[in-house]
Amino acid sequence: MRRHSFCKQSFIAITTMKTVITNSEIQLWANEELLGKIVFELSSNTLSILHTYAYQSGRGIGTQLMQQATRWAQEKGYTIDPICSFAKKYLEK
């Protein structure tokens, strides 16, 4: 008789997801857990993205953060200066 072993994957059910924008960060939260953030500086009409942090890799958190950052910049009429390498790669697409 042959036995099979199965890898159990754990999934986190996300019930509440929110984006918080402070004076220097764009944060992505799910179920009261900080998933990642963008650290930025704002000077005149330029949003300089300094760092992108995703606390769980491979889940698209950085991409979601950049989507929020670009949407917010467009709404406010800001130009984005991607200093962070992730932001540069995202905006080149």
- Tell me which residues of the chain have a pLDDT lower than 50: 1-11
Q: Residues with Cβ < 8 Å from 28, sequence gap 6 or more?
A: 17, 18, 19, 34, 35, 36, 37, 61, 64, 65, 68
The pLDDT value recorded for residue 10 is: 46
Cα 38 to chain center, whole Å? 7
Looking at the domain that runs over 17-92, which CATH code has it been given? 3.40.630.30
pTM of the model: 0.81
Positions of E strands within 3-90: 17-21, 25-30, 33-43, 46-54, 79-82
Share of the chain above pLDDT 70, in %: 84
Strand partners for 18: 29
